[in-house]
Each structure stands twice: as C-alpha cells, then as structure tokens.
Amino acid sequence: MSVATDPEEQYKLITKGLQEVLNGQIIKDVLEKEKRPVKIYLGTAPTGKPHCGYFVPMIKLAHFLKAGCEVTVLLADLHAYLDNMKAPLEVVQYRAKYYEYVIKAMLRSINVPIDKLRFVVGSEYQLSAQYTMDIFKLSNVVSQNDAKRAGADVVKQVANPLLSGLIYPLMQALDEEHLGVDAQFGGVDQRKIFVLAEENLPSVGYKKRAHLMNPMVPGLGQGGKMSASDPNSKIDIIEDPKVVKKKVNSAYCAPGDIKDNGLLSFVEYVVQPIQELLAEQDGVFKFDIDRPEKYGGPISYTSLDQLKADFASEKLSPVDFKAGVADKINELLAPIKAEFDASPDFQEYQQKGYHQEQPKAEKKTKKVKNKGTRYPGAGKPDGASAPEAEAEAVTAKLEEAKLN
C-alpha cells in the first residue's frame, strides 16, 4: 500500500467517506503548517462480539495509514466495565485481547499493513494519578445533564442509571489528551461525546481536537444500526458460513426498497470501499450472483448504481441479491475465520471473554391433574359452590394482571 505525501491528497484520504468532520482545519494545519503525520485514535469498548459492521472503521484505519497518519487503537476496557456493568472486569480483559486479535485479522484480510498501528489498553494509563485528577477537574466543569446527554447514544440507557454512565463520556474526552492525538475517530453515534470534549477540554487547560465520524451501518432488521447487543441485527466476524446464509436470508430486504435496506448498505459501505482499497482506485466494483441456469443464470455487476437501479425496478429480486451478499460476506470472513481456527490464543480469548454459563436445570414440579367437574365433591372446594370458586379464580387472575 503506497503512502500519500501531498497534504491535499492526505486530507482527502483522511476524510473520505465520512459522514461528518468537526474542526477539519486542525488536521489541515498539522499537514500544511506543522508538516508532520496526523495523530488519530479510534476507541473501542470490548463489550459484545465484533461484527461485520466493524469493517467500516477498519476501512478508515486503512485510509489513515495510507495518508501517513500515526494511528492508535484504544481497547477501552474500563469504558466497557463502566457501561452499565456489561461484563466483570476480569472478563473484559479477555475481550480486549479478543478485539485486538479480531482487528488485526480484519486489517490483514484486506491487505492493510499493521506494523505502524499502535494498540493501547485503557487501564494501562487511565488509573494514573494525573488521569484521576483530570477526571475530578472535568467533573467540576461538566454538568450532570451534559454528561448524561453526551452518553445517551453510546452508554446503555436504563431506568435507574448508574454514576458510571456519567464518568464514561468524561474519560472519552480526556483520552484525547492522554493519548496525545490531533483527532478522534468514531461512528456518528459518538457525536455528542465529541462535542462535549470540544467544549470542555479547554476549560481544564487542554487543546481542542478534530473529530471524524463514520456513518452507522444499518442492521439486518428493519431500521436500527448493526449492534453487538442484538444478535439478530448482525453477523459476527467469525460466523459460520451456513449461519451467515441463514441470517442473510432472514434479513429484511423488501422488493424495490433501496432506502431501508441493511444488505444494500453493507454492499455500499463495506464491499465497494474494500474493493477500491485493494485496487487503489475509486469506482471499482464487482458483485457476482451465482444464480442457477433455470432461473436465468449468473449475474455480474460492475456498477453499484446499476445494482441499485435494478433492485429498485425489481429487475433484481431479493432472493438473488441475498445469495450474492451471503457469498460476498463469507468471502470477506474466510481469511479471518482461518486465522481464528489456526490460533489457540485467538480461540482462548474468545472462549474466556464470551463464555456462556449453562442455565441451571429447573426442578420439575408435579402437575396437578385436572379431573374436571364431573366427580363427587368437585363443585365444592373448601365448602364453596362451583360458581363461587370460578368467580374467585377469575378475581385472582385479574388482581395478578394488575400487579404485573
């Protein structure tokens, strides 16, 4: 992969495909005036298993490296712990290692050199005295409402939120200073935290950074993003090929609908950008559908716009499109799955990080036989007549319903 050296070309690569850029001038000044590599970091909290949507930030990491940037990946273990206790701290440590293995495997699978990529675990520096003091300082200038609003799209929202959810965005803001970067990169769902950092870091003596935001990849259902916490919305990075086909086949994909279509978005945000990256040329696109001869034979597209047009006009059916998407996803995941199968450490971190406890077997309760009403004394339980007993049962059910 060739590295760009012209500031204009570098900036174009850094911002390529982003949904939004805040304070882009900061990046331009580093490239044009300071004439040094831009320092960017991506933070990821190791909670649920990484899914195919992670290809989108991986593509951007490739763009940053191609632009000569110094890139840091923060494995935010303490953030994962603070996010409504999604996992115990000891389990989060295994998940952080698993995320590192996944990210490296994903980048290798799309031919991105990772020798200049730096991995940092949050707890390595977030427990220092200086960092703790900075949290105290920032908590003196950020209101409870501002902190809550900042984390609304990132931290899990519950009826009775914990204080940890308020600390989370403060730490994410401070990470910019303690990692020594010029810019922070993340999904557009991070926007409120980015704004909190821009508005408040100068109040504690630290400079404002640039912020780069990716679009969110829609999930497999109707509406909503691809999420690690919703197994039906996503395809795991080490998913079995048969499961991939099953999930793709059950995904929402209405005939002619090109707006609310997670599979089509995946082709647009993942498949084509990876092909462009590998070819080092914009506009490259190849999408093959292995359709049986009796249904018209194989189809091949060399234009994303044409694929969209054919789907919109229903010339391309959801069944055929899904078959092509499933094959393309399995093609992308194959080298990652091969790395996983060949690495005992990779497998160990996955098993220990996502070990599912077997539910305890419930004791069988003896069912009371319903003898009906045609036996001696059936109509008079505890001295009550049959209608009275029936009325009492109905009343009890109503009371139970009210309580629930």
**Of 309, 336, 353, which marks where a domain is finished?**
353
> Do both 148 and 210 map to the same domain?
yes
- 248, 208: one domain: no
**pLDDT tens profile 25-73:** 999 999 999 999 999 999 999 988 999 999 999 999 999 999 999 999 9
Residue finishing a domain among 337, 353, 369: 353
25 and 151 in a single domain? The answer is yes
Sheet holding 39-44, edge to edge: 20-22, 210-214, 183-187, 39-44, 70-75, 117-121
Q: What angle (nearest 5°) sits at the alpha carbon of residue 80, between those of residues 89 and 41?
A: 125
Taking the C-alpha atoms of residue 47 and residue 91, their distance in angstroms, rounded to an integer, is 10
Contact 216, 290 (CB under 8 A): no
Q: Quote the domain boundaries for residue 317.
A: 241-353
Same domain, 259 and 296: yes
Question: What is the total count of domains within the chain?
Answer: 2
Residues 26 and 100 in one domain: yes
On whether residue 377 sits in a domain, the answer given is: no
Beta bridge partners of 279: none
Q: What's the token pair of residue 387?
A: 């209608």
Nearest residue to 227 (alpha-carbon basis) of 48, 42, 350: 48
Within-domain flag for 402: no
Residue 356's pLDDT is what?
A: 61
Asked whether residue 382 is assigned to any structural domain, the reply reads: no
The answer to whether residue 379 sits within a structural domain is: no
Q: Where a domain ends, among 353, 370, 399?
A: 353
CATH number of residue 256's parent domain = 1.10.240.10
Same domain, 68 and 153: yes
What is the reported pLDDT for 380?
45
**What is the predicted pLDDT for the residue at 104?**
96
Percent of the chain with pLDDT over 90: 68
Mean pLDDT across the chain: 86
Residue 387 domain-assigned (yes or no) = no
pTM of the predicted protein model: 0.82
pLDDT number for residue 378: 47
165 — pLDDT class (breaks 50, 70, 90): confident
**Domain match, 193 and 79 both:** yes
Render pLDDT for 203-248 as a digit per residue (tens, 0 to 9): 999 999 999 999 988 877 766 666 655 666 789 999 999 999 999 9
Do residues 165 and 275 both lie within one domain?
no
395 pLDDT exceeds 90?
no
Q: What pLDDT score was predicted for residue 222?
A: 64
35 and 74 together in one domain = yes
Dihedral (Cα; 135, 139, 145, 146), 10-degree rounding: -60
186 phi and psi angles, rounded to 5 deg: -170, -175
pLDDT at 216: 85
Do 210 and 245 lie in a common domain?
Answer: no
* Same domain membership, residue 252 and residue 346: yes
Q: What is the CATH number of the domain that holds 41?
A: 3.40.50.620
* Domain-embedded: residue 96: yes
Q: Is 219 inside any structural domain?
A: no
Asked if 303 and 205 sit in the same domain, the reply is: no
In angstroms, the CA 387 to CA 394 distance is 11
Element housing 394 (H / E): helix 386-403
Task: Assess whether pLDDT exceeds 50 at residue 382.
Answer: no
Q: Does 384 map to a domain?
A: no
